[in-house]
Amino acid sequence: MPTRRQLKGRKIAALAADGFEKVELVIPLRALKLAGAKVDVVSLRHGRIRGVNLHMPASRVGVDKTISEADPGDYDGLLLPGGFINPDLLRQSAQAREFVRAFAASDKPIVTLCHGPWVLASAGLLNGRTLTSWPGIRDDLVNAGATWLDQEIVRDGNLTTSRGPQDMAAFVPAMLDAFAKTSPEPTTTAPGHESDPQRSAPPSLAVAALRWSPKPSATAVVSIGLVAAARRAMRGPASQS
C-alpha cells in the first residue's frame, strides 16, 4: 500500500466530461488525494459534470478548471477516465486533443482505462504504442497504429492503460506507481509484436447491466416528448412546410 507522501508535491490533471464512468474517476481521485497528490478535474465546461454507472446516470463531480484555463505545464501527469460518452465528447474537442498532446510531447505520464484511449487515438498519439482498453474499442486502437493486449495493465513508456472497471484493483496501484516515477517505464513489448485477437463475445458485465436495466419512468417518457415538442415549436411553421 502506497504511503500518503508517495505523491506529495505532484499535481495531476483528470480530464473528463459528462458521461464519465463514475468508478473510473471517483476511485482514482480518492486514491491520488490519499497519496498526497493535488488533483484538478479539467473539463469542457464549468460546473458539475454527470457521471454514469455503465449506462445509468450517476452522481456529479465538480470541475476545477476548463481546458482553456488549465495549463498542461502546471501538471506532472494526466488521468483519462473512461465511460463511452465522456471520451467521445473529449475526442471531438480540438482543445482536449491539444491538451493531451502536450503531455505526450513532454513525456509526462498518461494513465487511462476503458474507452479513455479513444481520446489518444483522435489526438494521433497511438501509432507504434502498446496498450489495452475496453475490448470493444480494440479495433479502433489497432487501426490507429497501436498494438492491443488483452491484459489488466499494460505499461509502455509514459503510457499506462487498463481495460475497465473490472480491473480497478490492479489499475489503482499501477496508476499511483506511474505518477510516482520520475522516468517512464520501458516499452512492454518488442517491436513487431502482434495484437491479441478480438474477443469472441461482449463482456458479460455490460450485457447483464442492459438486460436488467429498469424500464423508463413515466416522467422520463413525458420529458422526452416535451423536448421533442419544444424543438418542433422552435423550428416554426416555415421549417415544417
Q: Which residues form the catalytic set?
A: 114-115
Amino acid at 161: T
Residues 82-99 as b/e (b if ≥16 CB within 10 A, e otherwise) read bbbbbbebbbebeebbeb
94 vs 104: CA distance, rounded Å: 16
Sign of the C-alpha dihedral computed for residues 41, 103, 122 and 69 taken in this order: positive
